[in-house]
Amino acid sequence: MTQENISIIMTQLSGQVAPDHLVVIKNKLTNAPDERVDEILALEAKSPITVLLLSIFLGSLGVDRFILGQIGSGIAKLLVGWLTFGIWHLVDICTAISRTKKYNYSKIALMI
């Protein structure tokens, strides 16, 4: 892949993926074919700030888990999350951004 295409992709992913994962992605992109550029750019990465806000306001209903594709834990949080007296909700608020960045990385890593 050309350096121009790599820099475009890296710019798009800069806030969506953890910095240490960006290095791994950049290394993988150097060996990827140029045809993958459009597919990678078309990928809808989840916004960490949006997931954080959803976790704050609707996290007790498991919405943050559903958005990140964690359907089983979202249902569990919806049904029995109240048994934790809000601790599960608080932990999810604190980890929302890092969980979102890991989710985005896993989606991108599958494409490369």
pLDDT digits (tens, 9 = 90+) for 51-76: 999 999 999 999 999 999 999 999 99
pLDDT digits (tens, 9 = 90+) for 14-27: 999 999 999 999 99
What is the rounded CA–CA span in Å between residue 34 and residue 19?
Answer: 23
pLDDT at 111 over 90: no
Average pLDDT over residues 77-105: 96
pLDDT value at residue 68: 96
Instruction: Give 3-state DSSP helix, strand, coil % of the chain, rounded to 5.
Output: 80, 0, 20
Which residues span the domain enclosing 69? 3-111
Distance CA 72, CA 74 (A): 5
Provide the pLDDT for residue 32: 86
Q: Token pair of 108, please?
A: 């991108």
> Structure pTM?
0.90
Select from 68, 2, 71 the least CA-distant residue to 33: 2
Provide the pLDDT confidence category of residue 36 given band limits of 50, 70 and 90: confident
**Total number of domains in the chain:** 1
